[in-house]
Amino acid sequence: MTGEDKKTEADDKEVPAGEMPSEQGVPAEDEKQENGECKLDVSEKSPPPAAKEVEFVHPEGGWGWVVMLASMWCNGSVFGIQNSFGLLFVSLLKEFGSEDDQDLRFKTSWVGSLSMGMIFFCSPIVSICTDLFGCRITAVGGAAVGLVGLMASSFVKTLGVMYFTYGIVFACGCSFAYQPSLVILGHYFKKRLGLVNGIVTAGSGIFTVSLPFVLSGLLESVGLQNTLRVLCILMVVLILAGFTYKPLLPASPVNSQTGGFQLSRIFNKNIWKSVGYRIWAFGIPAALYGYYVPYVHLMNHVQERFGPEANKEILLLCIGITSCLGRFIFGSVADFVKGANKVFLQVISFLVIGVMSMMIPLCHIFGGLIAVCLLMGLFDGCFICIMAPIAFELVGAKDVSQAIGFLLGLMSVPMVAGPPIAGFLRDKLGSYDMAFYLAGIPPIIGGILLCLIPWVEARIKRKQKQESLSKEQDVSQKMLEHEKAQEDAKNKIGDSVL
């Protein structure tokens, strides 16, 4: 009897002991298996990589201010030299022939056009290199190549070689130095990204306004070759500036099961999954077919309309000053004005620039043309300063390098094609009037197309929110069913014991 009593007591103890593991012990493993789908949903909602990304806090300053100044120097030196090609153009004509040789003028103009086009055309390749090697290596290497190209151009004696040294080597180096200067800012700034981009891109306006005065003096005193060698100083400083690009954001993980090198790191398909980015990436180039026509042909139009004695240089000065001002103003608005939509700011800039382009032929008073140029410069600054912040918002910081790169690559086509088309119309029709009227249409169409982005993004967010709610409801339902199953199991165990 004593042994049976002990056995009965042991059986009585087995019941609670069996119930406890059902919640904490071995049955808990069964719970993980039976409710694995539920656990998977929770893990999918907050995976470790996402948690790490949320934990990253942008410094919003510190070393970031040094990086901002270095990026500002990059924008200024690259586009300051490019935008001052008009002065180099006259010296090239004297060097290789005569200023009155129309055939030589056409051939020489392609040196500057090729250089500007290559900066944007190389951008997709630059974005891939930035993802693979980082901003610092890409920028320093690019600045070094640009230095070699510019120095080599100072020894060139034929126009054909100048196409290669200045139009390709120097321009490609500038492209590799320029794009990382935009990407690295997202490592240090988030709340102030619009303002910082405004300050950085203002560098090109400051250099564009001031560098022509320096170049004019240098070309008269030391000649073309020595002027190009002096400009090499800007590229040397640009190499040093690239060393400040210390990355902060964690690199994207590489899946070793793919056999080493991931194809996704060469061509990032994630950026094209964003509908908003796809609209943006094709809407911007569509607008640029007419965007740069006034910047290229305005001086010739003024000379034809108001005569050679007209102070046409004042128009470029107006555009440069208000463009710098616009970058500060709209960069601050995008960051600190609550409810300000960056895409709509870009839409407004395209609409204003399109209308102002159409107003140019209607200005028969020089003062009216100055007012038009002031507005064009102001909203040009708006368009440029918020390009990078929009890219960060549409695709995220990890994918922004190729997002910017492919956009700039697509921009190269209208930038090169638009002005020659306007020049063709001028030759056929005898004036620039129709060219300016038509140049205003693409920015307006592009602006209207960009209006779809906020609507599409809002619709996608609503859909994702609904899917998230439905998943949470499914999780809650499965948890309730699992708890009910546990209660039924407990009752069955209790009945068997009794």
In the chain, the domains with their CATH numbers are 59-250 (1.20.1250.20), 270-450 (1.20.1250.20)
Please compute the mean of the pLDDT values over residues 435-444 and round it to a whole number. 91
Lowest mean pLDDT among 35-44, 144-153, 367-376, 427-436: 35-44
The whole-chain average pLDDT of the chain stands at 79
The answer to whether 58 touches 191, Cβ cutoff 8 Å, is yes
Most confident of 50-64, 97-111, 163-177: 163-177
Q: Which residues contact 340 (CB under 8 A, 6 or more apart)?
A: 333, 334
Query: Quick check: 196 pLDDT over 80?
Result: yes
Which pLDDT belongs to residue 252? 56
Single out the residue of 84, 58, 290 nearest to residue 188, CA to CA: 58
C-alpha to C-alpha distance for 47 and 41, rounded to whole angstroms? 10
Q: Is the pLDDT of residue 310 over 60?
A: yes
Q: pLDDT class for 262, splitting at 50, 70, 90? A: low
| pLDDT above 70 as % of the chain | 83
Lowest mean pLDDT among 19-33, 74-88, 181-195, 326-340: 19-33
Residue 243 CB neighbour total at 10 angstroms: 12
pLDDT at 265: 62
Q: What is the pLDDT of residue 226?
A: 92
Position 450: which residue type? Answer: L
The residue-averaged pLDDT of 177-181 equals 91
Between 269-278, 399-408, 433-442, 484-493, the lowest mean confidence (pLDDT) is in: 484-493
**Segment of 7-11, 29-33, 75-79, 265-269 carrying the highest mean pLDDT:** 75-79
| Listed range (10-19, 132-141, 340-349) with the worst mean pLDDT | 10-19
Mean of pLDDT values over 94-101: 72
Q: What is the pLDDT of residue 22?
A: 41
Contacts of 19 (CB under 8 A, 6+ apart): 490, 493
Residue 176 has pLDDT above 70, yes or no: yes
Longest CA pairwise span in the chain (Å): 126
| pLDDT > 80? residue 50 | no
Q: What is the mean pLDDT of residues 388-405?
A: 84
Query: Which two structure tokens, joined as six digits, stand for 374?
Result: 């002031």
Whether 11 shows a pLDDT value over 50: the answer reads no
Q: Residue 43 — pLDDT band, cuts 50, 70, 90?
A: very low
Phi, psi of 430 (to 5 degrees): 90, -5
* 98-151: pLDDT as tens digits: 666 667 777 787 888 788 888 888 888 888 888 888 899 999 999 999 999 999
The pLDDT of residue 426: 82
Lowest mean pLDDT among 136-145, 185-194, 465-474: 465-474
Please tell me the pTM assigned to this model: 0.69
Question: Residues 6 or more apart from 74 whose CB is under 8 A from it?
Answer: 139, 177, 178, 181, 203, 238, 241, 242
Q: Which of 34-38, 100-104, 170-174, 341-345 has the lowest mean pLDDT?
A: 34-38
Q: DSSP string covering 252-272, please?
A: PP--GGGTSS-GGGTS-THHH
Answer yes or no: is pLDDT of 54 > 70. Answer: no
d(CA 34, CA 474) in angstroms, rounded, equals 15
Q: Does 349 score more than 60 pLDDT?
A: yes
Regarding predicted confidence, which is higher, 245 or 459? 245
Among 28-32, 110-114, 216-220, where is mean pLDDT lowest?
A: 28-32
Q: At 491, which amino acid appears?
A: N
Reduced to 3 states, what is the DSSP secondary structure of residue 92?
Answer: helix
Query: For position 198, what pLDDT does the model report?
Result: 84
**pLDDT of residue 35 exceeding 70:** no
Q: Which long-range contacts (CB under 8 A, 24 or more apart) does 91-97 make?
A: 91/219, 91/223, 91/224, 91/227, 92/159, 92/162, 92/224, 94/224, 95/224, 96/158, 96/159
**If you average pLDDT over residues 236-249, what whole number do you get?**
91
The pLDDT assigned to 296 comes to 74
Alpha helix positions (H), 192-292? 193-221, 223-242, 270-273, 275-291
Whole-angstrom distance, CA of residue 487 vs CA of residue 368: 83
Amino acid in position 287: A
From the list 469, 489, 492, the residue with the least C-alpha distance to 41 is 469
Specify the amino acid at residue 249. Answer: L
Distance between CA atoms of residues 145 and 172, nearest Å: 8
